[in-house]
Structure 1
Amino acid sequence: MCLASATLPLAQAAQASDTPLIWTPSQTSDSSYAMRMGSHLPTELEASAGAEISFTGFQSDLAPARTANPVKFWSSVRLPSNRKDGGDAQIEVRLNGLTGRRSVWLSKSLSLDLTPDLAAQIEDLYSLDYDRTASDRRVDARASKTIRVLSKTKGTALFARSTRSTRDQEWQASVGVEQKVMRGVNLSANIDNLAAQRPSGTLRASYAQRW
């Protein structure tokens, strides 16, 4: 009886997840791509783990470039929250399979309904990176805040983001737009380093599928 009672929450959690597998390809740069694979774990908390494989695409008249970080392992846990205002928090741990570099991420988000169609999201992201391959085995910290306004019916979102790390001398600002094309398919375009003399632009596409 004790054994059955102890395993019941795990069984309920496993049945509650209709899509246990994670398969998320994404474009990380003009010629680089990543594939995140994993599975939701049968626990009471919303936990998942897996690996992310990075690779480069082929370009005309150029030899395929070697990916600096081909394999990363990750695990994620969504923290329980009793807040009724749409607040959410999540912790993610990443490990570079080639260099052994480790990082811990803490993300917090808050959603607010502005109108029946418009919503606002505020996201805070904090991370610590430990690089044992560096000569001084340094630890870098990074923080960012994103404010996003999105249309629920059209799937379009406008966002502004500020980022600061221990390697930056000042805050970095960026703006962009995101568009949900269809289920699991998203496009985004953003302009980074607005204070620089030559800001850089990025266009990305992502696709996520669970089954």
Structure 2
Amino acid sequence: MTNRSMALLALLLASGCAAESYYEKGIGKWFGRDPSRIGSPVWVQGPWPEIEPSEDRDQVIDQLCPALMHMPAATAGTHGQEYCGVIYSFQGRYYASWPAPLRLDPTSAGKDCIVPNDVRDNRGRVSVVGDYHTHPWRRSPMSEKDRWKARQRYSFRVQMDAACTVQMLIPHVHEDRPGEIYERRERRWVLIGHIYDKDSGTISPIKEAP
């Protein structure tokens, strides 16, 4: 084995161990599943101390990717880990929950994480407005499955890849209007596509998008 191969193997093993360590430290404390409910839905704790709260939702979103890409194996590609969490409001300010690495199928070679149903904030009742998740690859836009109508639970969804390209879906699930896909560019949202067939999540690109 070459020195380069050995270094890569060591890096991958370290990433895997770190991801396992975060899971072991966080399960039941920062995230978990509720076995008392049908389907054992995922819950997450909030707020996540890495993200400063704000009255502006976008200021919270802009902090997410730099913090999330420091999570274990978050940028490790095929050997990486996805993280899911929520954005919520409490007393007029927006917060982000802790990220959860819980998977739909831990034995699968694919990458996924489960969108939380609930956030637990010890200060009182909160209102979840959106969810977020990561992809461990560069140049990895929001997938078709991520855009399916059946998978939309909140008013918006934010996804970011390992290069911190951030996209947002506004699904308009219960409205007679197409869903919208935006990309964050220089602190502003640029509309890049519409979703007319919400069941399939197929994007109709906006040709005029810069």
Structure number having the greater strand percentage: 1
Question: Which structure is larger by alpha-carbon Rg, 1 or 2?
Answer: 1
- Taking structure 2 as the reference length, what is the TM-score of the superposition? 0.33
Query: Which has the larger helix fraction?
Result: 2
